[in-house]
Chain A
């Protein structure tokens, strides 16, 4: 069965960087894209970006441009989100999700368990 297992909670200081991993199993990793979504405490969902696991092409939310980088390691079936210059309002649960359909950036149908990133001085 499709599973996405994310790395553990992180606590960072403002200005630092964080890298969250998302290890996939149960399917051919390079056949599907990975979407990243975050949710601040008590707030709604925010689409951050998407990566094509086959060729590494990416799309980012304009708000995140320049601070976020999505990458994959196909040999390890793992996707990564790196967020730099962390601010207090980056405190959130970060989710990775696999698309329902091959190579489509929409329809994230399988989700990881989420990774809490806390930014605090």
Chain B
């Protein structure tokens, strides 16, 4: 069982905003502001979308934004587009030099 809990699925219509949550089930994981988010399309390698909770790598649309409150990190996708349909994973530092992924959230664009 992952130390990070994500909803199995989230859906929205084109143009809408959706938010994916990522809740740390252990206090040590939740105490770090070292959270990243990855997008993965079927049969493709994951793509880093957000790092250090809120930062976007070069080339990532500003429609993607990250935040964290307490033990829960969130990824918001605004202006939802068909190409955003994918699986999304959060990842957090877990201490001792190790990292842990959440179970993943399937985003469906209706």
Residues in chain A within 8 A of chain B (CB atoms): 35, 37, 44-47, 50, 59-62, 95, 97, 100, 105-109, 111-114
Could you say which residues of chain A place their CB within 8 Å of the CB of B104?
44-45
SS class of chain A's interface: helix, strand, loop or mixed?
Answer: strand
Could you say which residues of chain A place their CB within 8 Å of the CB of B47?
111
How many positions in chain B have a CB within 8 Å of any CB in the partner chain? 25
Q: Which of B9-17, B18-26, B65-73, B88-96 contacts A (4 or more CB under 8 A)?
A: B88-96
Could you say which residues of chain B place their CB within 8 Å of the CB of A111?
45-47
**Residues 46-101 of B contacting A (Cβ, < 8 Å):** 46-48, 51-52, 57, 87, 89, 91, 93, 96-101
**Is B99's CB under 8 angstroms from A106's CB?**
yes
**Is A47's CB under 8 angstroms from B99's CB?**
yes
**Bound Cα distance A47, B100 (Å):** 6
From the candidates A44, A47, A107, name the one contacting B98 in the complex (CB within 8 A).
A47
Given contacts A44-B89, A45-B89, A100-B57, contact A107 B100 (CB under 8 A): no
**Bound Cα distance A21, B91 (Å):** 24
